[in-house]
């Protein structure tokens, strides 16, 4: 059970990179981009086929990033130049990518267990530092001796990578171009009147977003040890779940806060799913159903809460009014009683 939590942390940190991409389109550009389901696999596929053919893990992962960038830019061009509705341009690209991903991989599944990947290289370097035994001792001192992971390497490196991306993203959104992208999602006609080519901003935003998604897909393939054509199904919903859960729990007042919240949301989502799967009744195949339920809950519960708050406020105010009236009445009675004296 504790190891399940640990691996949720690891995969949560990798999926967090995908969730940051979804945050960029969904929240910043106000563009519900469904390309994600396809570009996630594209990242995995490109990395897998390159690793199998003997390219270095770093180059294979970098290529995944570029492939995602290209996929996102095509979605952007479909929407801006082709004037296709945002949802539809994403769906079209997602469907097209399914075939493209099959072409890239040549078959529907590529195992990577025998390849050296970024994950295996990190583990190797990490084992030389001897930090594991140090950290495990720390855990033992805390009385958690039996819940140590096999290695701390992945958590550490993924924490670093996702935080670096988080900081880079929030810094980018403060640059002149970044501000123009945010304004494009906020008030398009306004930013157009300040000499911004909103089409370019959308294409750029979608490209960066899908580059992050593909990067995340590439890392997941290396982490799981295989790339599979079906691994992207429902990815957009997982991304949305992470964004919505994160914002609900950790807040979204500033960009810096929101991006951190998205990472937190991605981890919480993984933990919730892991805990749900501990229930006897549920099977691994139910993950998508659980995901949908989580998103529906995250969307509806705040509304119900707000309504209840409003109702209780009303009741309170009504009570206060009644109290005042009875007080006034009481005062009058006292007054008449006094005058009777």
Partner 1 sequence: MLQLNQIYKVFNQGTPDEKLALKSLELTLEKGEFVTVIGSNGAGKSTLMNMISGKLIPDAGSVIIDGKDVSSVDEYVRSKMIGRVFQDPMAGTAPHMTIEENLAIAYGRTNKRGLRLGVTKSRRSFYKEKLETLHLGLENRMNAKVGMLSGGERQALSLLMATFTNPKILLLDEHTAALDPSRADLITKLTKEIVSQNNLTTLMVTHNMQQALDLGTSLIMMDKGQIIFEARGEEKQKLTVEKLLHEFQRIKGEKMLNDRAVLI
Give me the residues that bind partner 1 (CB under 8 A), please. 172, 174-180, 182-183, 186-187, 189-198
We find the least distance from the C-beta atom of residue 67 to partner 1, in angstroms, to be: 23
We find the least distance from the C-beta atom of residue 204 to partner 1, in angstroms, to be: 11
Please identify, using beta-carbon distances, which residue of 164 and 300 lies nearer to partner 1: 164
Please identify, using beta-carbon distances, which residue of 63 and 258 lies nearer to partner 1: 258
We find the least distance from the C-beta atom of residue 170 to partner 1, in angstroms, to be: 12
We find the least distance from the C-beta atom of residue 172 to partner 1, in angstroms, to be: 8
We find the least distance from the C-beta atom of residue 29 to partner 1, in angstroms, to be: 12
CA-to-CA dists, residue 150 to 3, 135, 224, angstroms: 9, 11, 15
CB contact set of 304 (below 8 Å; sequence gap of 6+):
none
CA-to-CA dists, residue 201 to 24, 173, 192, angstroms: 12, 12, 11
User: What is the helix (H) or strand (E) element at residue 169, kind and residue range?
Assistant: helix 153-172
We find the least distance from the C-beta atom of residue 266 to partner 1, in angstroms, to be: 23
Dihedral pair phi/psi, residue 196, rounded to 5°? -115, 135
Please identify, using beta-carbon distances, which residue of 232 and 246 lies nearer to partner 1: 246
Please identify, using beta-carbon distances, which residue of 30 and 132 lies nearer to partner 1: 30
Residue 113: other Cβ atoms inside 10 A: 9
Please identify, using beta-carbon distances, which residue of 168 and 292 lies nearer to partner 1: 168
- CA angle 12/13/15 to nearest 5° reads 65
CA–CA separation, 43 and 27 (whole Å): 23
- Radius of gyration from C-alpha coordinates of the chain: 26
Please identify, using beta-carbon distances, which residue of 117 and 184 lies nearer to partner 1: 184
């Amino acid at each position: 059970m504790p190891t399940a939590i640990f691996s949720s942390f690891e995969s949560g940190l990798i999926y967090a990179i995908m969730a940051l991409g979804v945050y960029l389109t969904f929240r910043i550009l106000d563009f519900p981009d469904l390309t994600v389901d396809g570009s996630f696999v594209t990242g995995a596929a490109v990395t897998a086929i390159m690793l199998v053919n003997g390219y270095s893990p770093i180059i294979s992962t970098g290529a995944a990033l570029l492939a995602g960038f290209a996929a996102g830019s095509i979605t952007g061009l479909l929407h801006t130049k082709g004037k296709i509705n945002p949802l539809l341009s994403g769906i079209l690209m997602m469907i097209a990518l399914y075939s493209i991903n099959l072409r890239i991989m040549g078959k529907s599944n590529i195992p990577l267990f025998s390849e050296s990947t970024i994950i295996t290289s990190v583990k190797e370097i990490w084992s030389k530092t001897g930090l594991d035994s140090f950290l495990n001792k720390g855990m033992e001192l805390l009385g958690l001796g039996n819940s140590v992971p096999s290695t701390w390497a992945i958590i550490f490196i993924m924490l670093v990578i996702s935080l670096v991306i988080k900081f880079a993203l929030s810094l980018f959104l403060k640059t002149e171009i970044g501000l123009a992208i945010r304004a494009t999602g906020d008030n398009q006609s306004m930013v157009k009147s300040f000499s911004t080519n909103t089409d370019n901003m959308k294409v750029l935003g979608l490209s960066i977003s899908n580059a992050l998604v593909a990067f995340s897909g590439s890392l997941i393939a290396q982490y799981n040890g295989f790339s599979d054509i079906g691994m992207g199904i429902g990815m957009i919903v997982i991304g949305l779940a992470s964004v919505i859960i994160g914002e609900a729990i950790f807040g979204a007042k500033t960009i810096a806060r929101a991006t951190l919240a998205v990472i937190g949301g991605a981890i919480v989502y993984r933990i919730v799913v892991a805990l749900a799967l501990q229930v006897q009744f549920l099977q691994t195949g139910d993950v998508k159903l659980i995901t949908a339920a989580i998103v529906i809950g995250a969307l509806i519960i705040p509304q119900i809460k707000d309504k209840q708050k409003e109702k209780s406020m009303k009741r309170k105010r009504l009570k206060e009014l009644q109290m005042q009236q009875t007080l006034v009445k009481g005062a009058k009675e006292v007054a008449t009683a006094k005058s009777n004296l």
